[in-house]
């Protein structure tokens, strides 16, 4: 079992090889991968997490919650391949995951669409499922090995300083202990204290958009293969991603105003609004938004009437061009998070490395954020394995540089591409719409290019 | 890159005096300069730090590839299949992968059971010594050098890392002054050292005495050819100035063939006590420095810098 260090009466000074700050997917994957590797498993590793994770994650697997949680991510086959290679994938609750073969993106203004097809192009997994599966695998590894990874949960980092003699990072923890390490890994999110300690700048901008999430259920009108839908509206894309049993997780990226409006609607209104968002024209939507903002009692009626009109005009052959209508919502699943782009100037400094959101954040429209973080973990673990087998001090920049030079350029390109897609679709200015729609139509019919795009979206995995 | 090789160093005694004479002031500042830059990975010794990566790769790969997978296993059921040909070109991929996979697992098991004692001759500031000490398969490391200042750098630096503090010791000694009866090692290293001494053959002979049966000597030095002169002296010292002027002397370079021949001569020597009879050249690899990238192995060990491994019979 874990060695869980809670509060001590007297303060203790610990020394570890690696301290991972952050028990999210990045930190847990990193810890699991390092324990799984025969080359690095002998290293003394501590994972420090400010919140409580052990009990919630353990009970997630023992007694799974009745409803799907609203924090869901799309995993590429490459990510799943990596999670499998470290022995963690089999610990996930597989029944709660949904793999799909189809992605359809369509233009909210012109209707131009692209269709990506590939077996297991992506898999939807709840973030908590990922963390729980990793924790379970970590548990298993700890029980098999002498040197155990120590999880210090419910422990915040008060301050970080460099030891005056060795220059090793020393952390003061909220339980009074101090923890010194050879290598400090920042998996501590967008506001990363580790990044600040290392003096690394992060550049980017806020998109001035919010992602509204909710867990909904499709109407039981007909059978559809699980598909990922994304409609590019001028205010931001509306994505419907498949969950098991006809459920769907939506991410509606939109302006702060509209996000507030969406969260203020009652459940029936919200469901109608989502259906409107997937079908009605941008002019109609504008009008509907105004009705909603002014809290008009006719809102529901208006939307329904327009949706009926739309259904009447729709040819049966074109029905499958749109997702099914949504009919139910999991109460309390509506939430929102701010969208921003950021990229750290570097991922490594003396005795510090950044992974995941601490290093970069992106728009969710391409489903790449968490996957980029997983590729970071894979690259960093390889660099640490190499350095360890060469007897290097793993905190030394010589040991860490290969990780930075492998990941930074790739991440930079992907962040840039996603940013451009967001910008291209953020307008309804006719010439731009025409150009992008033409581009989409052309790309959609070019086999080799689409194969390349599918390969990139799915992480080029050989699975 | 340049362990200061002064056989009879007065500096040690000078430094102990409480009065700072003019000479020792120069030495002190020289020492202080060395100390601060030797271990700066981005400083003047960066080439050396980069070369250390290849040194460790060479040692790891050589020892691992020579592990006898079926040593001491008489039961044919437990033996790993080691065919006398290269499976990758002959057998279908799945079968080749399985054979290689089984071999790799056994190799890892044997590797992890090793407990090696290592001697680093001409250890300098301890770059290699510390890397060796950190390996779980290394039990202890002794580093010897003839320069007091550089050894001081090494000693100070090892105190900063608990992983090497206990396993590593440094001594101000020449290899010929070590007692062959008590100082026996599994691995003896002489990296970038032979091209700096006046009598390399004598130093090598002395080193042979400290290798246990089945043990290794790892050497790296530079071939005496035009390419070496161009890269290490012309470009390295005069043009790019990555290496201090006068570090290398062309006549002292030793060819890979000459080293191999030296071992052969020992085999043919009628004197039965010649230790060279127990040693074989186990392998050699060339390497080249690419600015902005680092060191890279090459297939030609007869041109430029190279590594060589000598193995003693069991």
Task: Give the tens place of pLDDT for each residue, A249-258.
Answer: 999 999 999 9
% helix / strand / coil in chain B, to the nearest 5? 45, 20, 35
**Residue A129 main-chain phi, psi, to 5 deg:** -65, -40
- Rounded Cα–Cα distance for residues B10 and B12 (Å): 6
H helices within A67-126, ranges in order? 77-85
Question: What digits encode the pLDDT tens for the residues B32-66?
Answer: 566 668 898 888 888 889 999 999 999 999 999 99
Closest CA to A47 of A60, A62, A33, A61: A33
User: A145 at the B interface (CB within 8 A)?
Assistant: no
Torsion of CA A407, A408, A414, A417, to 10 degrees: -160
- Rounded Cα–Cα distance for residues A113 and A323 (Å): 13
* Pair of tokens at residue A408: 């930074």
Residue B313: CB atoms within 10 Å: 10
Strands (E), A308-459: 326-329, 335-344, 348-349, 352-354, 360-361
Torsion of CA A406, A411, A413, A419, to 10 degrees: 180
* Pair of tokens at residue A403: 């990780």
Query: If you average pLDDT over every residue of chain A, what do you get?
Result: 91
CB A50 within 8 A of CB A74: no
By mean pLDDT, which of A196-205, A207-216, A397-406, B6-15 is the weakest? B6-15
Residue of B42, B112, B161 with shortest CB distance to A393:
B161
CB A91 within 8 A of CB A418: no
Reduce the DSSP state of residue B181 to 3 states and report it.
Answer: coil
Verify whether the Cβ–Cβ distance A391 to B132 is below 8 Å.
yes
CB A135 within 8 A of CB A28: yes
Verify whether the Cβ–Cβ distance A396 to B53 is below 8 Å.
no
Strands A98-107 and A113-126: antiparallel
- Rounded Cα–Cα distance for residues B60 and A141 (Å): 26
By mean pLDDT, which of A2-16, A79-93, A139-153, A392-406 is the weakest? A2-16
B244 has a pLDDT exceeding 80? no
Verify whether the Cβ–Cβ distance B41 to A398 is below 8 Å.
yes
CB B236 within 8 A of CB B227: no
CB B193 within 8 A of CB B218: no
- Rounded Cα–Cα distance for residues A122 and A228 (Å): 9
Reduce the DSSP state of residue A219 to 3 states and report it.
Answer: coil
Verify whether the Cβ–Cβ distance B60 to A396 is below 8 Å.
no
Residue B240: CB atoms within 10 Å: 11
Closest CA to A65 of A227, A247, A250, A323: A247
User: A268 at the B interface (CB within 8 A)?
Assistant: no
Instruction: Find the mean pLDDT for residues A407-416.
Output: 92
Instruction: Find the mean pLDDT for residues A342-368.
Output: 93
Verify whether the Cβ–Cβ distance B108 to A391 is below 8 Å.
no
In the CATH hierarchy, which top-level class contains the domain A14-72+87-96+125-201+345-428?
Answer: alpha beta
Contacts of A320 (CB under 8 A, 6+ apart): A224
pLDDT band for position A221 (50/70/90)?
confident
pLDDT > 90 fraction of chain A, expressed in percent and rounded: 79
Reduce the DSSP state of residue B159 to 3 states and report it.
Answer: coil
- Rounded Cα–Cα distance for residues A390 and A14 (Å): 26
pLDDT score at A11? 59
A373 has a pLDDT exceeding 90? yes
Verify whether the Cβ–Cβ distance B42 to A391 is below 8 Å.
no
With contacts defined as CB-CB under 8 Å, which chain A residues touch B50? 398
Q: Give the side-chain half-sphere CA count within 13 A for B295.
A: 22
Verify whether the Cβ–Cβ distance A166 to B161 is below 8 Å.
yes
A20 has a pLDDT exceeding 80? yes
- Interface residue of A146, A391, A400 to substitute, partner B, most B CBs within 10 Å: A391
Largest CA distance in chain A: 77
- Rounded Cα–Cα distance for residues A292 and B274 (Å): 97
pLDDT score at A284? 94
Residue of A17, A165, A392 with shortest CB distance to B131:
A392
Verify whether the Cβ–Cβ distance B50 to A398 is below 8 Å.
yes
Instruction: Find the mean pLDDT for residues A10-16.
Output: 75
Verify whether the Cβ–Cβ distance B108 to A15 is below 8 Å.
no
pLDDT score at B36? 67
Instruction: Find the mean pLDDT for residues A132-158.
Output: 96
pLDDT band for position B18 (50/70/90)?
very low
pLDDT score at A9? 43
Q: Give the side-chain half-sphere CA count within 13 A for A105.
A: 19
Name the one residue in this structure whose structure tokens are 């507030």.
Answer: A260
Closest CA to B214 of B193, B184, B169, B194: B184
Report the gap between the CA of A155 and the closest CA in chain B (Å): 26
Closest CA to B56 of B303, B313, B291, B287: B287
CA B257 to chain centre: 18
H helices within A37-109, ranges in order? 54-62, 77-85
pLDDT score at A339? 93
Which sequence spans correspond to the domains of chain B? 36-66+115-312
Name the one residue in this structure whose structure tokens are 């894979």.
Answer: A378
Closest CA to A189 of A370, A394, A401: A370
Rounded to a whole number of angstroms, the distance between the first and last alpha carbons of chain A is 33
Report the gap between the CA of A23 and the closest CA in chain B (Å): 27
User: A393 at the B interface (CB within 8 A)?
Assistant: yes
With contacts defined as CB-CB under 8 Å, which chain A residues touch B123? none
Residue B281: CB atoms within 10 Å: 16
Verify whether the Cβ–Cβ distance B160 to A166 is below 8 Å.
yes
Reduce the DSSP state of residue A269 to 3 states and report it.
Answer: helix
- Rounded Cα–Cα distance for residues A220 and B162 (Å): 64
A402 has a pLDDT exceeding 50? yes
**Residue A182 main-chain phi, psi, to 5 deg:** -75, -35
Residue of B nearest to A38 (CA): B108
B78 has a pLDDT exceeding 90? no
B6 has a pLDDT exceeding 70? no
Strands (E), B149-261: 168-172, 185-191, 211-222
Q: Domain B36-66+115-312 carries which CATH code?
A: 3.40.50.150
Query: If you average pLDDT over every residue of chain B, what do you get?
Result: 84
With contacts defined as CB-CB under 8 Å, which chain B residues touch A392? 53, 56, 131, 134
**Residue A325 main-chain phi, psi, to 5 deg:** -75, 150
Question: What digits encode the pLDDT tens for the residues B129-159?
Answer: 999 999 999 999 999 998 888 899 999 999 9
Name the one residue in this structure whose structure tokens are 């470290």.
Answer: A86
**Domain A206-337, classified CATH 3.30.9.10, yes or no:** yes
- Name the interface residues of B facing A (CB cutoff 8 Å): 41-42, 49-50, 52-53, 56-57, 60, 108, 112, 130-136, 138, 160-163
With contacts defined as CB-CB under 8 Å, which chain A residues touch B135? 389, 391
A321 has a pLDDT exceeding 70? yes
Interface subset of A 38-77, CB within 8 angstroms of B:
38, 42
pLDDT score at B84? 81
A212 has a pLDDT exceeding 60? yes
Report the gap between the CA of B43 and the closest CA in chain A (Å): 12
Which sequence spans correspond to the domains of chain A? 14-72+87-96+125-201+345-428, 206-337
Residue B59: CB atoms within 10 Å: 26
Inter-CA distances, B181 with B17, B115, B177, B178, B210, Å: 36, 20, 12, 9, 8
Instruction: Find the mean pLDDT for residues A181-200.
Output: 95
Instruction: Find the mean pLDDT for residues A69-92.
Output: 95
pLDDT band for position A460 (50/70/90)?
low
With contacts defined as CB-CB under 8 Å, which chain B residues touch A388? 134
């Amino acid at each position: 079992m874990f060695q869980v260090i809670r509060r001590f009466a007297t303060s203790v000074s610990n020394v570890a090889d690696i301290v991972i700050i952050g028990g999210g997917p990045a930190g847990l994957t990193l810890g699991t991968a390092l324990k799984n590797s025969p080359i690095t498993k002998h290293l003394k590793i501590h994972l420090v997490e400010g919140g409580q994770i052990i009990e919630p994650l353990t009970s997630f697997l023992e007694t799974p919650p009745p409803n799907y949680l609203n924090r869901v991510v799309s995993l590429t086959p490459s990510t799943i391949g990596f999670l499998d290679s470290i022995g963690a994938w089999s610990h996930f609750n597989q029944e709660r995951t949904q793999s799909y073969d189809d992605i359809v993106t369509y233009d909210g203004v012109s209707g131009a669409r692209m269709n990506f097809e590939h077996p297991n192009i992506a898999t939807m997994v709840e973030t908590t499922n990922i963390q729980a599966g990793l924790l379970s695998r970590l548990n298993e590894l700890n029980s098999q090995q002498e040197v155990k990874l120590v999880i210090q949960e419910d422990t915040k980092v008060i301050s970080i300083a460099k030891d005056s003699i060795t220059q090793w990072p020393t952390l003061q923890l909220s339980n009074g202990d101090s923890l010194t390490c050879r290598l400090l890994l920042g998996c501590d999110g967008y506001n990363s204290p580790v990044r600040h300690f290392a003096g690394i700048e992060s550049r980017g901008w806020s998109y001035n958009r919010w992602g509204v999430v909710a867990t909904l259920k499709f109407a039981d009108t007909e059978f559809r293969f699980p598909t990922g839908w994304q409609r590019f509206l001028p205010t931001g894309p509306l994505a419907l991603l498949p969950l098991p049993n006809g459920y769907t997780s939506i991410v509606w990226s939109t302006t702060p105003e509209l996000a507030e409006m969406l969260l203020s609607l009652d459940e029936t209104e919200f469901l109608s609004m989502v259906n409107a968002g997937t079908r009605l024209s941008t002019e109609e939507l504008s009008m509907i938004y105004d009705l909603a903002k002014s809290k008009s009692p006719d809102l529901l009626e208006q939307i329904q009437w327009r949706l009926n009109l739309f259904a009447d005009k729709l040819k049966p052959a074109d029905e499958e061009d749109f997702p099914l209508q949504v009919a139910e919502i999991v109460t309390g699943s509506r939430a929102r998070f701010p969208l921003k782009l950021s990229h750290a100037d570097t991922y490594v400094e003396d005795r510090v490395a950044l992974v995941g959101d601490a290093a970069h954040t992106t728009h969710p429209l391409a489903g790449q954020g968490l996957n980029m973080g997983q590729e970071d973990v894979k690259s960093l673990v390889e660099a640490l394995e190499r350095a360890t087998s060469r007897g290097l001090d793993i905190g030394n920049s010589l040991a860490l540089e290969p990780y930075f030079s492998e990941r930074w350029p790739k991440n930079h390109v992907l962040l840039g591409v996603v940013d451009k897609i967001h910008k291209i679709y953020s307008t309804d200015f006719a010439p731009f719409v025409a150009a992008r729609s033409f581009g989409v139509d052309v790309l959609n019919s070019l086999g080799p290019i689409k194969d390349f795009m599918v390969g990139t979206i799915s992480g080029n995995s050989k699975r | 890159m340049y362990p200061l090789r002064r056989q009879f160093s007065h500096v040690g005694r000078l430094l102990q005096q409480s009065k700072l004479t003019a000479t020792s002031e120069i030495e002190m500042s020289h020492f202080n300069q060395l100390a601060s830059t030797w271990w700066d990975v981005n400083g003047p010794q960066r080439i050396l730090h980069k070369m250390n990566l290849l040194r460790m790769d060479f040692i790891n790969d050589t020892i691992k590839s020579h592990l006898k997978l079926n040593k001491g296993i008489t039961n044919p059921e437990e033996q790993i299949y080691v065919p006398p040909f290269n499976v990758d070109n002959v057998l279908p991929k799945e079968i080749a992968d399985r054979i290689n996979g089984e071999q790799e697992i056994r190799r890892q098991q044997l590797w992890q059971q090793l407990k090696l004692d290592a001697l680093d001759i001409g250890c300098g500031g301890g770059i290699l010594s510390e890397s060796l000490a950190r390996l779980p398969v290394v039990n202890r490391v002794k580093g010897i050098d003839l320069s007091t200042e550089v050894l001081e750098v090494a000693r100070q630096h090892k105190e900063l890392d608990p992983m090497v503090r206990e396993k590593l010791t440094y001594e101000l000694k020449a290899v010929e002054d070590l007692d062959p009866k008590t100082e026996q090692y599994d691995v003896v290293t002489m990296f970038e050292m032979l091209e700096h001494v006046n009598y390399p053959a004598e130093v090598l002979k002395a080193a042979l005495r400290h290798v246990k049966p089945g043990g290794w000597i790892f050497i790296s030095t530079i071939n005496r050819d035009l390419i070496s002169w161009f890269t290490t002296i012309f470009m390295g010292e005069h043009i790019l100035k990555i290496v201090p002027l006068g570090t290398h002397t062309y006549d002292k370079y030793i060819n890979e063939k000459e080293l191999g021949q030296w071992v052969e001569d020992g085999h043919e020597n009628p004197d039965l006590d010649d230790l060279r009879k127990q040693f074989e050249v186990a392998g050699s690899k060339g390497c080249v420095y690419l600015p902005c990238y680092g060191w890279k192995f090459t297939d030609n060990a007869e041109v430029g810098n190279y590594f060589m491994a000598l193995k003693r019979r069991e």
